[in-house]
Amino acid sequence: MVNTIDPRNIPGISEASVSVEIETEDMTLNIGPQHPSTHGVLRLVAKVDGEKVYNVEPVLGYMHRGYEKLAEVRTYPQITTLVNRIDWVAGFSNEIPFIAGAERLMEIEVPERAKQIRLILTEMARICSHFVFNGAYALEVGALTPIFYAMEDRERVLDLIESVTGGRFHPNFNRIGGVKPAAGSGPTTKKNIQDLPAGFYRDTKLAMEKVIEAADKFQNLIGGNEVFHKRTKNVGILPKETAEAFGVSGPILRASGVKSDLRTQTDYLPYDKFDFDIPVGENGDCYDRWDVRTKEMVESAKIVLQAIDDMPSGPLQAKVPKVIKVPAGRTYVRAENPKGEMGYYIVSEGGLGPYRLKVRTASFSNVSILPVMLEGALLPDLIAIMGSLDFVLGDVDR
């Protein structure tokens, strides 16, 4: 007969095991660079104490392509192909501030119609970017379904961009002084000025109504989900003052309660002609950031609907010299891109290309706040916070 001692019968042991302080050793956790939630190749080195993150160091450079250097050996018209690839989710928006900067230095007045086509397409790019965010963010916090809806709905808008520009992601559609003659609208001759493709207004109207419907659907599907609320509400709160000092912009800044939108504050495109709201958050948490972007989709769709109703007629191109030389000078042009403030500081010495081109991207400043936001956060919240910043690595590294 073997005597066995049941530990449960030893007096006091069950209490003892509970009251013992559990000490964990600090651990370094490497996230990325090849991780689906890093939107490219961002690497985070997190130091964790149990479930608590107490230090995060983002490691950049896996996507650095040196566009600022490459721009120095290219002519102005060639640079638009480069800048398309900075934030590839909304390629069209990247061209706008660069082209506007070159036009400002050359003192070219862009025709109204060209400006409005730019405005329509840049708003469509914003819708695409927010669709991707809605799908991807839901996926990151554990909901698989929304990304299928998001991708399907985005395709309609991408088709429209493609029908005008000929490209889905990298349109390269802007020219100094206006826009390229639209794709699919007949042969290029000077006498027969090409314009938007046939049926564009009708298709746009349908697609934009679908966008408003889709945003509504996401408000129910994602915003009405209790798990999503639990994962995002009061998680990753970003105070207004911190956001300002770090240069955080776009929907993230607005979610922190700052009503700042370069579309109304500056005049790079004729936004003053249209009625639209600027959605603002209250708490600056992950939920607000999602909410602001989803509401922005509706506002963008409203802008596009107003714009196609009120299209000015006229040429697509201002008169520009055949060889584009930008006079000496320097200017900074910024625009409200889907991810925030994007700007180009052009230093021209009067040559065919810029002497120096500084590219200010939104995601770079937005990601620089990660160490501050993640300090003291729980490990499961790390992905929720990171995803809510909606960055793209091409936009961080350039």
Candidates 57-65, 282-290, 294-302, 381-389: pick the segment binding other proteins (CB under 8 A): 57-65
68 binds other proteins (CB under 8 A): yes
Its sign, for the CA torsion 118, 120, 121, 122, is: positive
328 binds other proteins (CB under 8 A): yes
Its sign, for the CA torsion 131, 133, 134, 140, is: positive
Candidates 124-132, 163-171, 306-314, 325-333: pick the segment binding other proteins (CB under 8 A): 325-333
Candidates 81-89, 154-162, 231-239, 319-327: pick the segment binding other proteins (CB under 8 A): 319-327
Residue 114: how many other CB atoms lie within 10 Å: 21
Candidates 2-10, 70-78, 128-136, 374-382: pick the segment binding other proteins (CB under 8 A): 70-78
341 binds other proteins (CB under 8 A): yes
Q: What residue spans of 141-225 are helical by DSSP H? A: 146-165, 200-221
376 binds other proteins (CB under 8 A): no
CB of 137 to other proteins, least distance (A): 24
Using CB under 8 A as the binding criterion, the count of chain residues that bind other proteins stands at 50
Its sign, for the CA torsion 307, 311, 312, 314, is: positive
368 binds other proteins (CB under 8 A): yes
Which of 360, 381, 384, 391 touches other proteins (CB under 8 A)?
360
381 binds other proteins (CB under 8 A): no
Question: Phi, psi (5° rounding) for residue 54?
Answer: -115, -5
Cα distance between residue 362 and residue 301, in whole Å? 22
Candidates 112-120, 126-134, 215-223, 239-247: pick the segment binding other proteins (CB under 8 A): 239-247
Residues 6+ apart with CB under 8 A from 306: 273, 274, 275
| Cis peptide leading into residue 33 (ω within 30°) | yes
331 binds other proteins (CB under 8 A): yes
89 touches 338 (CB < 8 A): yes
221 alpha-carbon distance from chain centroid: 22
Residue 229, CA atoms < 13 Å, CB-side half-sphere: 7
60 binds other proteins (CB under 8 A): yes
Report strand pairing: 174-175 vs 340-348.
Answer: unpaired
Binding interface with other proteins (CB under 8 A): 60-61, 64, 66, 68-70, 72-73, 104-105, 190, 241, 244-247, 253, 258, 260, 265-266, 319-323, 328-332, 334, 341, 343, 345, 347, 349-353, 355-356, 358, 360, 364-365, 368, 397
